[in-house]
Amino acid sequence: MGEIVFVTHNKGKIASAQKVLKDVNVKIFEYDLDEPRSDDIKLISKAKVEEAYDLVKKPCISLDSGFWIDELNGFPRAFVNFALETIGIEGILKLMEGKENRDCKFTECLSYYDGKELHQFMGEHKGKLSKEILGNDTKEKWSDLWYIFIPSGYEKTLAQMTKEERDNRTRYESVDSFRVFAKWYAENCKK
């Protein structure tokens, strides 16, 4: 089986890839890829995986995520890092003060590029925003949004859950792009 390189600097994404893609020969190359200014996570993921391929000259995967808050017309969308760097999760909670509709979702696009063909795999995780910052730091955390995101069907933020609870939770209204990719790869690329 060939090697796939995951180019990222996000420790939480690395931990998720190593957990879910354990049957795939994934090598980690820690590097901070350029992120185009766009509201389209598919376009961002495509640009990142093509840059990753140019760096390592081997089949690569790249993952980009967005966070949509219904009450805020989808804000911050694909601009999660910008929102977290400027207003932070405290600012997001401030924007949501007095709002009843706390529905939100993470979306993700995993792109696989072998130098010739691009394949993209979408994921989505629905939930609600907590009214306060809750939970503990963990090396599996992708983002500070884990402190305020309560997955559908649960009463705890991702940061409040134990590793076992996160690993064993039933995925209500949830599709994990790593899992979708792993299934496709096993069916199409393993030799």
| Residue pLDDT, tens place only, 41-71 | 999 999 999 999 999 999 999 999 999 999 9
Closest CA to 110 of 125, 122, 96, 95: 122
Residue 63 vs residue 172, higher pLDDT:
63
pLDDT averaged over the chain?
89
Report whether 113 contacts 60 (CB < 8 A).
Answer: yes
Given a cut of 70, is residue 1 above it in pLDDT?
no
In percent, how much of the chain has pLDDT > 70?
95
Residue 122 vs residue 12, higher pLDDT:
122
Quick one: pLDDT at residue 26?
A: 87
Average pLDDT of 82-103? 96
Backbone angles phi, psi at 59, to 5 degrees: -55, 135
Binned at pLDDT 50, 70 and 90, residue 19 comes out as confident
Say whether 114 is catalytic.
no
Quick one: pLDDT at residue 37?
A: 86
**How far apart are alpha carbons 43 and 155 in whole angstroms?**
34
Report whether 160 contacts 135 (CB < 8 A).
Answer: yes
Binned at pLDDT 50, 70 and 90, residue 120 comes out as very high
Binned at pLDDT 50, 70 and 90, residue 23 comes out as confident
Given a cut of 70, is residue 78 above it in pLDDT?
yes
**Residue found under tokens 């064993």:** 168
Binned at pLDDT 50, 70 and 90, residue 13 comes out as confident
Architecture of the structural domain at 4-188: Alpha-Beta Complex (3.90)
Given a cut of 90, is residue 18 above it in pLDDT?
no
Q: Which three-class secondary structure state does DSSP give residue 110?
A: strand
Cβ neighbours of residue 93 closer than 8 Å, sequence gap 6 or more: 129, 131, 132, 133, 148
Of 32, 39, 64, 70, which residue is the catalytic one? 64
Quick one: pLDDT at residue 141?
A: 77
**How far apart are alpha carbons 24 and 191 in whole angstroms?**
11
